[in-house]
Structure formats: structure tokens, C-alpha cells
Chains A and B, each alone.
Chain A
Amino acid sequence: MDCAENRLLPSRRALLLGGASFAAWAYLPKFARAADGRDPRLIVVILRGALDGLATVAPVGDPDYAGLHGSIALTRDGEHPALLLDSFFALHPSMPEFARMYRDKHAAVIHAVSTPYRERSHFDGQDVLESGYAGPGRVQSGWLNRALEALPRGERVSSGLAVGPTTPLVLRGAAPTVGWAPVALPQADDDTAMRLVDLYRHRDPALASVLSQGLQLEKAASGDDMKPKGGNAVAQMRLVAKGAAKLMAADDGPRIAALAFDGWDTHANEGGAVGRLAFLLGGLDGALAEFESGLGDRWRDTVVVVATEFGRTARINGTDGTDHGTGTIALLAGGAVKGGRVISDWPGLKLANLYEGRDLKPTTDLRAVIKGVLQDQFGLNDRVLAETVFPDSASARPMRGLVS
């Protein structure tokens, strides 16, 4: 029942925190793409709280999995059988949309993956995941923003966007970004707003800049169907994805965006094929489906990257949940993904193979995955990726061939 009340919070912030925050680059990338007709899009979905990768894409073929994950382990049969991805891995049954994309070769899983972070603090872990630096607390900008800075900047996106109060760190930085959140307030008239901006210009330039952005973009915000409708977290995740997809499908819409879903910190009563995690995964699955349908023809050129700060313990804890761990999964979905694959250098779940005797050992650096996507989608070169986007990541070579 955790979070049940949270789900009912009606605010837009609840959408942002309980559901999602969404932010995008303020400019179109200027691609000379006429040649191949591609107009690539990238959506980064951050799952805050540390996703249990072993519960989402279960290594049902590993002899130690069932014992470790105990009461919440997924199974090949039973009332809610896991969806087989290959002979070894099976997907959580609450993700039928992702399974369909996988069968259509438009979705892939990278397993036993992690950032370079090896401690177990959410906040530091998210900092590493989003900043792209090898350790926490080093910088106030995100790797996606720094990737944007490396792209040639085209026209400014000016329609349909309001600036979100919670731009995820991954997209914070020098490259200007905008965001979108449903509007539920009567708004100040232009005259009042302009007077205030004028006062700020004289007395408080920082606030002048911040408020101007908010005004400018709020004004162009979208139609009524983007207002929050209440409802549960699943509906909210879908709603935000739907709104974001609508914005990104427009000819002058943003091509690169990030959003975050909260609530994956399943210490207790995580649930197996049904239950709390199943519920959240259903929301994620729905959001991916909304991206697919909302982006329409653009889906063909889209990659969605789903990542989390770290994994959870391989063995369930004493309360039918999992504590903070290390290795986990990353998901790729989208028409541009060369999918139908679980990519993994599987470390095995024998005690001796677990990281510090407790966690799935990471064998793939998440940065290699993301660098591969950025390279294939946007043509960023090795040097920029290894020095600017993910500093000190030369050893994590871009994983090629993720994008078709």
C-alpha cells in the first residue's frame, strides 16, 4: 500500500515527483539529415530509487536465481508466467508492450550493467548516473546536456512548452532546456508579469531570468487534454509520456528529452509477478506504449533509454524486498533500436560471483551503452564522448550496433 496516498495527490508536482518530470532541449539539433531522411529522437527515462533488474528481466535460466530471489522470483509458469525473451532471460509479466516491441526487434535489454558508482546511496548514485562523472558531487550539469552542447544548434523550440521546476540533473547545464508540466492554475496576466520582470531586472537579475523563461514558455503551453486527471501512478506515468510524445512529435518539437519516474526503492514487500513493483513496471510499460503511439511516424527514428542509479541485492532481504545493490538492467526501446536481444556478459549468481557477496556483479558499464546510443543517433565522436559527455570514460568504449 506504499504510496497509495501519493498517487492521489492532485498537484502537478505530484505528477512530477510521483509520476514524472519531463524536460527537453530548447533547440532542435541542426542535422544535415536530408540525405538519409532520418530525424533522430532520444528520450532518457530515469527510474529513481534503484530498479530491481533481476525482478524486471529475470535470469530464469540461472540455477541460483530462484533461490536468491525467493518468494518474489519470477517463474516460467504459474498463474502469471514471465514473458520469455530467450532461453535464459524472461521479462516481468506486467510489461507486455515492451515484450511486443522486443519481439518486433524494437526493444533490447542490457543486463548486469551499472554506472561506475560502487557505493549504495541513492542520491550519490543518481548524481553519478545523471552527471556522467565517475563520482558524485562533482558537477551541476548532466551528460545529456553536455551532449547537446556538442550538437549543432538549430531553431529554438518555442511552442507548446512550459518550463518544469524539476529539470532532472541529466539535462541540466549550459545548453538551454525547457520542460512541460500540465497546467492547473489561473495565470497572472501579462501586465502584472511584465511589471514583476521589470522589477527583477533592476533588483534581482537571477529571478528576472528565471521568471522570464517560465512566462515565455508557459504562455505557449498546450491544450486542455494535458491537464492532470488525477488517477493512479500508472495513469500518471502514461499521461506524462503521452504529453511528452505529443510535444516531441511536432515538426518543431524537441528531439531530445529526459524524464524521471520515482518510487522504485522496493525495500519491503516488493512483490513478484504481481504487487508493488509489478504495478510500477506496468506504468513504465504504459509510458513506453504512449511514446510509441504518440510519436507516430517519428517512432521509427526514436530511441528510449531507461536507466536507474544502481540495482538491488540479489538475495531478497528479511522483508520480502531487496536492499540497495549494484548491477541492474538498462532498457532500450524505439523504432531505431536494433532490438530483440538481451545483451549481457552474464556474471552468474553463484555466491562467489556476486559483487561483495550480495549484488549482481556489473559486467557492462552503462556509460558504454549510452555512448553507443549517442554515437549512433547523433554522430558524437569518441573524443567528445570520453572527455566532455562522460569525462574519464575512455575505458568504457561506445557499444556499437545498438541502433539500426
Chain B
Amino acid sequence: MARDSQAALVALNRFGFGARGGASGDFINAASDPRGFVKSELGRPNGVRLEAPGLQSTPQLGQAVFEYQAQVKAAREAAAKSGTPGESKPGESKPGEAKPGEGPPPQTQGAPPTPADQKPAARRNLSLNAVAMDIAGQSPQMKASDAAAKPADAMQPNAAPPAAKPAPQPLNVIQKTFRAEALARLQRATLADCGFTERLVAFWSNHFCISAAKGELARIWAGSFEREAIRPHVLGRFADMLKAVEQHPAMLFFLDNQQSLGPDSRAGQNRKRGLNENLAREIMELHTLGVNGGYTQEDVTSLARIITGWTFAGRQGRLGEPGNFVFNANAHQPGPQGLLGKTYDAAGLAQGEAALADIARHPSTANFIATKFARHFVADDPPPALVARLRDVFTKTDGDLKALATALVDSNEAWTAPLTKMRSPYEFLVASGRLLARVPEDPGQYLNSLNLLGQPLWSPAGPNGFPDTNAAWAAPEGMKLRLDIAVQIGSRLSNNMDPLDLLEFAAADAASTETRRTIERAESRQQALALLLMSPELQRR
């Protein structure tokens, strides 16, 4: 039994988001058939997709941003004309929208403004999840910034200081969309049985990350990028995910490819502009081959030329429906290109697609992906034999990601390696919510906590994504902050919840004597819950 309990802990924590509380029976189910428990989600490829009312497609969201930006511009011009100093607040033209911290996020733009009558619904359940991490409430200035919709003003160092404390501004369409997307993702992760496929989504999304901090388009597209380019392929083929990612407007925007013009293309000649290597370099360095994967500066430049013309249609829609991926032949560098020892003759879009297909099955890619995959799930320094096996599976199946995930679950290493990895802040917060059996209804507290803990959702500091090693998360201040957040969650705990029951749900007899004793001896239920959330059983995976 003890061994099964240990395996259940591996199934739930290494592969999933931890046991759900309440009547889920997750721990017992996982203990009775650990591998089966993890693998059951792999049999439902469509279950990885995420569709929820109110979530819109990338082109729809692109158009929403274009309209929003036009409104901002118009409001500014009107203000300038009337000589009104101070900022224009585009949100003001849409009365009735939910205020920050109120209202469920979000009907996004295109839909009518969220009516005020939705607010009570949001207040319905303020208990633990609202909780949970109600940090925003403690810090009004943070909330104000969160809601601030004046990036342009913030860029003016000499902008007039606000005369009085400004009223909280309504969320604009970008912020509302971001929150809606975040909420949908959080709810899915909280509700999932084991959460293995949601963990896979998070892994691939971080591997192919964009950053919402890049600008308005990136922020509004962060969620749709993951839904459209990542999720459909998490149990599909790597090459398909690669193509979907590199052709997604969010990625093209994030790494500047929409601005890159073939120097000898018609557009390049006319506009005297040219190449931008950013996307091409990161495709090879971060997405596929890895930094030592055997490419040269020449290859980077060459791939940059090959993917010139990969862009998305802008607001005027000259190239196509605004917000859609388009291949702009006018911007494409003409002629064959050599890349990684091979010549790509095909013209147009096919040239880049052929190159990506080859890069996807390059041996360096198999090695890079296998290593990163094993590092994420098993150990900072993963067992070489496991990495080698994953690499072979990746190669033999031509990048079948379901086969890769299955091989990981089938391996012995994944079950025998000690649970030494730290949960990332996202994993910690989701696992806490699951254990407390609270489905998030407002993403605000989660988003604020992620900011504080150094993992702002969909906003890593660079295109290499968030770090995936213990050194990043088991750090002094990070742990102190986690404890503060755990105390916050504990302080809102209602007295009808028994922390010892929660320990039973989370770890049963795999819990250590010391953890059990620490919880038993706590001076209050609130303190006990904070200690439980911070226990090694809940922090390590």
C-alpha cells in the first residue's frame, strides 16, 4: 500500500496538478492504477482543446484591438482639439463595463459590453478561491495599476501628474480578453482529473512562448495563441505544432517577423527596409535545434530570408482579413536559399514550410526536445537513459507528441526518480485551488500572485520562457512569498474544513509523519492550512 501511495503521489504531482479535494477520490484512483490514471487523459485528444463561451478567434481579437486603438486615437485627437489637457480614457466611452475586481471577466469585444447585472454573480462565491490569493485587495495601488489603461501616457516622462486620485478605470477590451483567457485556462486546470494534458499544454506553451508584455496585440492574443497553435497539437505532431506556432500572428508579432522584408522583394526595394532575424534565430535556438544544434549565423540569416512574407493582415486588411496569418509574396525574398546544408528552391510559402518540416525532424531537435521534456517532468538533470529513449521515440514516430508523453509515463525512471522538482508558482497556485475544491471565478488573485511569485501569466521576460529548474523557484525570497500567500489563503479558510482531511486527499499515507504532526500541532486551522500548502508534499513534484 505504501508503495502504491508513493506512486499515487508521483501520478498526481509529477504528471498532474495534484489531487482535488472534496469527493474526487483522486488519490485512491491514482493509487489503484497510477499509470492508467495518468494515461487516461491521453486517450481524449479533443479534451485538450479549449472552447468556452466568449473566447474568440485570433482574427476577431485582432480586429478588436484595431478598433480599440482607433477609438483611443480618436479620443486623443478630440481631446487635443478641444484643448483638454490630461488623458483620454477610451474605456469611458463604454459605460457599463465591469470594474476591475468586479464582474466575471469577460465577454470580449464584439460582444456587447458586460452588463452591470453580472456583478452579483461574481460576488456569489467569495470564499476560498477569492481567497485565495487576495493580494490585490491589500494593495490598492497595485490594483490601480492593474487596471490602468494608459500605456501611452506612462511613456511620457513629463506627463502631468494626476491632480487627484483617479477613479478606477473600466477594463479595456485587451485586459478583459486577457482575463477571460486566463480564467478559462485556470478553470480547465482546476477541474481536470489528473491534469497531465494541462501540464503538457503549459509545457509546450512555455516552450513556444510569446510574451503578453510585448504589446497590445500580444496581450490580447496570448490566450488564443495557446488555444489555436498549442492545444490542437499537444497530442499530435511536433511538426504541426511548429508550423502552427510560427505562422501564428501572435508569434510573428512577438518576434517581429511581420516587419521583416526580403531585401530584394518588391516591398523591400520600395520601402528600403529589409530583414529582421529575430524569429528565425529563436526558431532554431529555442524552438527546435537548441543553441548548440549545429546551425550557423548564415543559417539564421538564411531562414530569416526564407520566412520573409510570413505576416498577418493589418487593420486596413490590404493583405487579407485583418488579424489572419497571410503570406505576403511582395515581402518574400525571391530565389532559392541554403539552410543547414540543403537548398530550398520552392517559391513562396512552401519554401518556409519545407524548411520548418526538415528542422522539425532534425536530430538536434529530437535531442533538444527530449532533454527539455524530461527535465520538466523528472529532474533538473534527467537520467540520460530516459532522455535517450525519449529522443528515439521522437525520432522514430516523426515527432508524435502523444507517443512522447506515453513513453515518459511508461518509463521506470519517471516513477523511481525522487520527487525533487519544485512546483512552479503556477503549479503551486493551481494545486492549492484544486485541493481546496474551488473553481476560480475571478482570475485576478491568481494573476496577481503569479506576478508576485515571478511567473506572470504568458509574460516571461524573454523568448526562452520561464525557467524550469529548482534554482529558479526554490529561492529565498520566492519561498518567503509563497509562505505569505499560503498564509493569506489560510486566513480565509472557513472553519468547516479540516486540514487533516485535506492532507489525506493530497497525500494519504504517503504524507510524512513530520508533516502530519506539524499540521496536527498547528495553533489554528488557518495556520494548519498554510503549513499544509507549504509542506514538501505540496511543494515538490
Show the binding face of A for B, using Cβ within 8 Å: 1-14, 16-18, 48-49, 119-124, 136, 140, 162-167, 179, 181, 184-189, 191-193, 195-196, 198-200, 202-204, 206-207, 210-211, 213-215, 217-218, 228-232, 234, 262, 265, 267-268, 279, 282, 317-321, 323-324, 356
**Are B539 and A13 within 8 A (Cβ)?**
no
Most A C-beta atoms less than 10 A away, residue of B135, B216, B484, B540: B484
Report if A232-B259 is in contact (Cβ < 8 Å); known contacts: A199-B518, A202-B514.
no
**Are A17 and B154 within 8 A (Cβ)?**
no
Most B C-beta atoms less than 10 A away, residue of A188, A202, A206, A268: A188
Set of chain B residues within 8 Å of A18, measured between Cβ atoms = 213, 461
Measured in the bound complex, the distance between the Cα atoms of B485 and A320 in whole Å is: 44
27 contacts between A and B (CB under 8 A): A3-B214, A5-B215, A5-B216, A8-B148, A10-B451, A13-B451, A13-B454, A16-B454, A18-B213, A120-B297, A123-B464, A163-B480, A164-B477, A188-B480, A188-B487, A195-B527, A196-B483, A199-B531, A207-B474, A210-B479, A214-B480, A215-B480, A230-B145, A231-B154, A317-B274, A319-B274, A324-B281
Of all chain B residues, the one with the shortest Cβ separation from A178 is: B476
Contact of B151 among A7, A10, A192, A320 (CB under 8 A): A7
Measured in the bound complex, the distance between the Cα atoms of B536 and A265 in whole Å is: 39
Q: How far is the CB of A358 from chain B (nearest CB, A)?
A: 8
**Does residue B80 face the partner (Cβ distance < 8 Å to A)?**
no
Most A C-beta atoms less than 10 A away, residue of B268, B471, B487: B487
Contact of B523 among A4, A181, A191, A217 (CB under 8 A): A191
**Are A319 and B259 within 8 A (Cβ)?**
yes
Of all chain A residues, the one with the shortest Cβ separation from B285 is: A121
B475-506 vs A, CB cutoff 8 Å, 1 = contact: the mask equals: 11111110111111000000000000000000
Report if A214-B477 is in contact (Cβ < 8 Å); known contacts: A8-B151, A267-B278, A323-B278.
yes
Set of chain B residues within 8 Å of A140, measured between Cβ atoms = 471
Measured in the bound complex, the distance between the Cα atoms of B222 and A210 in whole Å is: 33
Measured in the bound complex, the distance between the Cα atoms of B270 and A402 in whole Å is: 49
Set of chain A residues within 8 Å of B485, measured between Cβ atoms = 185
Q: How far is the CB of A28 from chain B (nearest CB, A)?
A: 20
**Are B157 and A5 within 8 A (Cβ)?**
no
**Does residue B437 face the partner (Cβ distance < 8 Å to A)?**
no
Report if A268-B151 is in contact (Cβ < 8 Å); known contacts: A10-B146, A185-B135.
no
Measured in the bound complex, the distance between the Cα atoms of B274 and A163 in whole Å is: 45
**Does residue B452 face the partner (Cβ distance < 8 Å to A)?**
yes
Contact of B155 among A4, A189, A203 (CB under 8 A): A4
Measured in the bound complex, the distance between the Cα atoms of B530 and A188 in whole Å is: 9
Contact of B152 among A4, A265, A317 (CB under 8 A): A4
**Are A162 and B477 within 8 A (Cβ)?**
yes
Set of chain A residues within 8 Å of B260, measured between Cβ atoms = 318-319
B255-292 vs A, CB cutoff 8 Å, 1 = contact: the mask equals: 11001110100001000011111100100010000010
Q: A203-B512, A203-B515, A356-B297 are in contact. List 15 more A-B contacts (CB 8 A).
A: A1-B215, A3-B213, A3-B214, A3-B215, A10-B145, A119-B291, A123-B462, A136-B291, A185-B452, A191-B523, A195-B527, A206-B470, A207-B536, A214-B478, A267-B277
**Does residue B535 face the partner (Cβ distance < 8 Å to A)?**
yes
**Are B531 and A192 within 8 A (Cβ)?**
yes
Measured in the bound complex, the distance between the Cα atoms of B141 and A1 in whole Å is: 23
**Does residue B357 face the partner (Cβ distance < 8 Å to A)?**
no
**Are B481 and A199 within 8 A (Cβ)?**
no
**Are B514 and A199 within 8 A (Cβ)?**
yes
Contact of B474 among A5, A206, A279 (CB under 8 A): A206
Of all chain B residues, the one with the shortest Cβ separation from A231 is: B154
Most A C-beta atoms less than 10 A away, residue of B453, B459, B464: B459
Measured in the bound complex, the distance between the Cα atoms of B481 and A230 in whole Å is: 19
Measured in the bound complex, the distance between the Cα atoms of B521 and A324 in whole Å is: 57
Report if A11-B451 is in contact (Cβ < 8 Å); known contacts: A124-B291, A356-B297.
yes
Q: How far is the CB of B459 from chain A (nearest CB, A)?
A: 7
**Are B477 and A195 within 8 A (Cβ)?**
no
**Are B141 and A207 within 8 A (Cβ)?**
no
A-B pairs, 5 with minimum CB distance: A318-B274, A4-B151, A11-B451, A214-B480, A163-B476
Chain B positions 435-478 with a Cβ under 8 Å from a chain A Cβ: 448, 451-454, 456, 459, 461-462, 464, 470-471, 474-478
Measured in the bound complex, the distance between the Cα atoms of B277 and A228 in whole Å is: 36
Measured in the bound complex, the distance between the Cα atoms of B182 and A55 in whole Å is: 39
Measured in the bound complex, the distance between the Cα atoms of B219 and A2 in whole Å is: 11
Set of chain A residues within 8 Å of B157, measured between Cβ atoms = 232, 234, 282
Of all chain A residues, the one with the shortest Cβ separation from B151 is: A4
Measured in the bound complex, the distance between the Cα atoms of B488 and A184 in whole Å is: 13
Of all chain A residues, the one with the shortest Cβ separation from B213 is: A6
Set of chain B residues within 8 Å of A200, measured between Cβ atoms = 536
Q: How far is the CB of B238 from chain A (nearest CB, A)?
A: 22
**Does residue B412 face the partner (Cβ distance < 8 Å to A)?**
no
Most B C-beta atoms less than 10 A away, residue of A163, A193, A199, A213: A199
**Are B476 and A217 within 8 A (Cβ)?**
yes
Of all chain A residues, the one with the shortest Cβ separation from B530 is: A192
Most A C-beta atoms less than 10 A away, residue of B276, B291, B480, B515: B480
Set of chain B residues within 8 Å of A167, measured between Cβ atoms = 475
**Are B483 and A193 within 8 A (Cβ)?**
yes
**Does residue B142 face the partner (Cβ distance < 8 Å to A)?**
yes
Measured in the bound complex, the distance between the Cα atoms of B524 and A191 in whole Å is: 11
**Are A185 and B138 within 8 A (Cβ)?**
yes
Report if A181-B488 is in contact (Cβ < 8 Å); known contacts: A1-B216, A262-B461, A318-B273.
no
**Are B154 and A267 within 8 A (Cβ)?**
no
**Does residue B244 face the partner (Cβ distance < 8 Å to A)?**
no
Q: How far is the CB of B530 from chain A (nearest CB, A)?
A: 6
**Are A165 and B454 within 8 A (Cβ)?**
yes
Set of chain B residues within 8 Å of A321, measured between Cβ atoms = 256, 276
Q: How far is the CB of B269 from chain A (nearest CB, A)?
A: 11
Set of chain B residues within 8 Å of A17, measured between Cβ atoms = 454, 461
**Are B475 and A187 within 8 A (Cβ)?**
no
Report if A211-B515 is in contact (Cβ < 8 Å); known contacts: A9-B213, A13-B454, A262-B461.
no
**Are B454 and A166 within 8 A (Cβ)?**
yes
Contact of B144 among A121, A214, A230 (CB under 8 A): A230
Most A C-beta atoms less than 10 A away, residue of B214, B216, B268: B214
Set of chain A residues within 8 Å of B275, measured between Cβ atoms = 317-318, 323
Measured in the bound complex, the distance between the Cα atoms of B277 and A184 in whole Å is: 39
